[in-house]
Amino acid sequence: MKSLGTGYSYEKLYGVWKGMRQRCYRENSKHYKDYGGRGITVCDEWRGSYLSFRGWALENGYRFGLTIDRRDNDKGYYPDNCHWITHKQQQFNKRDNRLIVINGITKTATEWALCSGINPKTIDKRLRLGWNGKSLISPVDPRKRSDNRIFFINGEFLAAYEICKKYGVDESTIRNRIARGWLPKDLIKPKGYRGKERVKG
């Protein structure tokens, strides 16, 4: 295969082009299974000519420090599917970075961590525990740390302090009910409710 532009091999961008082709066509590449092994290819124009790829890159925002990214990770390297982003942004687009919908907005777990201030490890742990929606990024109110668990009530996950705020039940009542093992649906009952159904154990 003829590769035009080898006289530019000193350029950083040339390494990007070379790496792109290796991931897609060299079976002994450590990344082949995630690219060529999945059917990801490089368009004929770029695959055979570094100068063609170089011209597109310089006309479409390339600068030192950026990395090439595919808009659709299931499609190949060609002009309409590629753009330049930072390494940090590329981490958001990994196939193993789950997409999470909260209040109708879709972001990766990493993006939700950045915009909410919640530690990514905390979000990951909550995901593994089966949490979803708003509960994944709900902070623990430092003034009301009597119980940090999340409870499923009326179709949504709420922390203890959120239950107090939404249903008008004071913190001491919620704390006592949690300590007695009341069912989540009973935590929001009016004061004086006996809570006949309780969690065993």
pLDDT single digits (tens) 113-168: 777 778 777 887 887 777 778 888 877 544 444 455 677 788 777 777 778 888 88
pLDDT at residue 200, as a whole number: 40
Measured CA to CA, the distance from residue 71 to residue 78 in angstroms comes to 10
Kindly report the average pLDDT of the chain as a whole number: 80
pLDDT tens digits along 3-41: 455 577 889 999 999 999 999 999 999 989 989 999 999
Residues 57, 63 contacting (CB under 8 angstroms): no
- Integer angstrom CA distances of residue 37 from 26, 41, 75: 10, 10, 13
Give the pTM: 0.48
Rounded-to-integer distance, Cα 79 and Cα 58, Å: 12
